[in-house]
Structure 1
Amino acid sequence: MPIITLTTDFGIKDHFVSAVKGAIYTEFPDAKVIDISHEISPFHITEAAYIIQNAYKSFPKGSIHIIGIDSELNPENKHIAVQLDDHYFICANNGLISLITSEFNPDKVVEINIHDTIISNFPVLDVFVAVACHIARGGTLEVIGKNTQEIKTIKGITPIVNLGDKQIVGSIIYIDNYGNLITNITRKLFEEVGKGRKFKITARTAIFENVYQRYSDAINFEIEKSKREEDGKKLAIFNSSGYLELAIYKSNPKTVGGASSLFGLYYRDTVSVNFE
């Protein structure tokens, strides 16, 4: 039985998430519904794409992913269903899918056209649920939409390589629960451009000259605990998703602060890597 996942910016205070789940179970009682996140910043397409891109791969092939971010239907924000990497994604054509498909070409994309039979100002509840349950029952995309190749793209968030392959200029695309800063610079790009050369990572006033594999690699455990630099130590790592991340060891944004607040860095701020 296919899994249906939910990713939205609805939060958990209001009734929206439970209403969507109720609608799924009403239409398809045997469904398995999993929450990816409902704490996406409102209308934050890039943040949603980062989370979904790194979560969906852990789900079984054939899983169906409902994405409720900036989903209100209008002439410039159509609804689409996408078959990609043996998964299905149901969302607005607002650029989000273009970020997820950076490594894969979609197998099929349809513009959903069942709106004439469904009157709604809550498309995630009514339209997206209907499409997800249709797919879960084994239905094809052609029944609920018409084929299209028009996927909106979001520009301006791709790293730039310049100065004769001596510099990568990237930006912060996500701030996690610990206040750590995830950039759009991948390990693959870093290694292809760097070719093992020494480097300096600069983000505002923060400078890093090492990239660790794990957070704890930044700590010298051979030094007596009371004398070593530990809590509050700044570090750069390639995180589990393969992106360059700027962090504070064992940070807590609610008490001592995280990399974002301590470095004064936020979404889309610049991070540069200069190679010797």
Structure 2
Amino acid sequence: MSLITLTTDFGTKDHFVGAVKGAIHSELSDAKIVDITHEITPFNIAETAYIIKNSYKSFPEGTIHIVGVDSELSEDNKHIALALDGHYFICPDNGLICMITSDIKPTKIVEINIHDRVESSFPVLDVFVQVACFISRGGSLDVIGKEIKKYKQLIEIQPKVNQEQTKIIGGVIYIDNYGNIISNISRKMFTDIGKGRDYVVTASRYTFTKVFNKYNEVVDDGAKDKRQFDGNRLALFNSAGYLEIAIYRSNLKTVGGASTLLGLEYRDVISIEFLPPNTQEFKPI
């Protein structure tokens, strides 16, 4: 039997998560359910996509992922089920799929049609659970709905490159538990556009001329007391392959995180400007 994961913005105070799990077990008494998170910032599509994209690959093929963020059905926000990279996703067509599928395209997408039989203000419980359990029992996507070829694209959450290929303009899509700031600029984009050129990363009024691969690379190996580097700001490519602005060994209760210390929030701009060869001094444009 397939694993079923849950990703929502429901939080854990209310009954919603428990009700969804109860409904799954009522359909499949021996279902295996895994919570990815229920602490998505309400209605935050970019944050949802980032978390799903960087978690689903850790699950075995055949896993069914229920995504309940901004899931109320409307003419502009239909419900879809899709097969992607050996996994199944049941979610609203609100733009989150365009981030998940930036590298891998779905093999099949259907628009869920059981709404003709179910009127609901809680579609994750009344619709998504039914679809997930049907798939888990071996059901085909073709029975769930009509195949579609297109899904909603959210251009504003994708990084942009200027015409001269000298600048990537991205933005903050997620702030993690440590207050670190994750952008939508991937290492691949950085490498493809940069082509080995020197660069300057700009976030708010702060600039970085080096991007690390690990947090502790900011520490001087010859330092007698490495604690002196606590609170230093740095840029790195994180384990998910995205440009991150961080505070070394940050603690939100003491030192603070990059978000608060640098004054950056969701959708704020982070950019990388690539310098011409033999540039001696960087002058912001």
TM-score (norm 1): 0.96
Out of 191-200 and 31-40, give the one that drifted further: 191-200
- 1:66-98 per-position Cα deviation (integer Å, ceiling 9, x unaligned): 000111112221111011111100011111112
Q: Which residues in structure 2 correspond to 1:95-114 (within 5 Å)?
A: 95-114=95-114
Specify the alignment match of 2:132 in structure 1.
Answer: 132
Specify the alignment match of 1:189 in structure 2.
Answer: 189
Out of 165-174 and 15-24, give the one that drifted further: 165-174
Match of 2:66, SS state, is strand
- 1:2-57 per-position Cα deviation (integer Å, ceiling 9, x unaligned): 11000000000001001100100110012110000100000001100000000001
Letter of the structure 2 residue corresponding to residue 270 of structure 1: V
The question of 1:79 aligning with 2:87 is answered: no
Specify the alignment match of 2:279 in structure 1.
Answer: none
The question of 1:232 aligning with 2:231 is answered: yes
Q: Which runs of 4+ in 1 moved over 3 A?
A: none
Deviation at 1:163, TM superposition (A): 6.0
Match of 1:197, SS state, is coil
- 1:226-247 per-position Cα deviation (integer Å, ceiling 9, x unaligned): 7x74110101110001001000
Q: Which residues in structure 2 correspond to 1:1-276 (within 5 Å)?
A: 1-162=1-162, 164-225=164-225, 229-276=228-275
Match of 2:128, SS state, is helix
Match of 1:19, SS state, is helix
Out of 266-275 and 14-23, give the one that drifted further: 266-275
Letter of the structure 2 residue corresponding to residue 264 of structure 1: G
- 1:151-196 per-position Cα deviation (integer Å, ceiling 9, x unaligned): 1111112222226222211111111111111111111111122222
User: How many Å separate the matches in 2 of 1:153 and 1:96?
Assistant: 8
- 1:118-148 per-position Cα deviation (integer Å, ceiling 9, x unaligned): 2322110110000000000000011111111
User: How many Å separate the matches in 1 of 2:151 and 2:175?
Assistant: 26
Identity %: 59
Match of 2:265, SS state, is coil
- 1:221-274 per-position Cα deviation (integer Å, ceiling 9, x unaligned): 311107x74110101110001001000001122332100111111111111112
Distance 1:161 1:150, change over 3 A: closer
Calculate the aligned-residue CA RMSD, in Å. 1.3
Q: Which runs of 5 or more residues in structure 1 are unaligned? A: none
Out of 157-166 and 28-37, give the one that drifted further: 157-166
- 1:199-240 per-position Cα deviation (integer Å, ceiling 9, x unaligned): 1111111111111110001101311107x7411010111000
Specify the alignment match of 2:280 in structure 1.
Answer: none
Out of 111-120 and 127-136, give the one that drifted further: 111-120
User: How many Å separate the matches in 1 of 2:267 and 2:220?
Assistant: 32
User: How many Å separate the matches in 1 of 2:194 and 2:121?
Assistant: 50
Match of 1:156, SS state, is helix
Letter of the structure 2 residue corresponding to residue 104 of structure 1: I
Letter of the structure 1 residue corresponding to residue 112 of structure 2: I
Q: Which runs of 5 or more residues in structure 2 are unaligned? A: 276-285
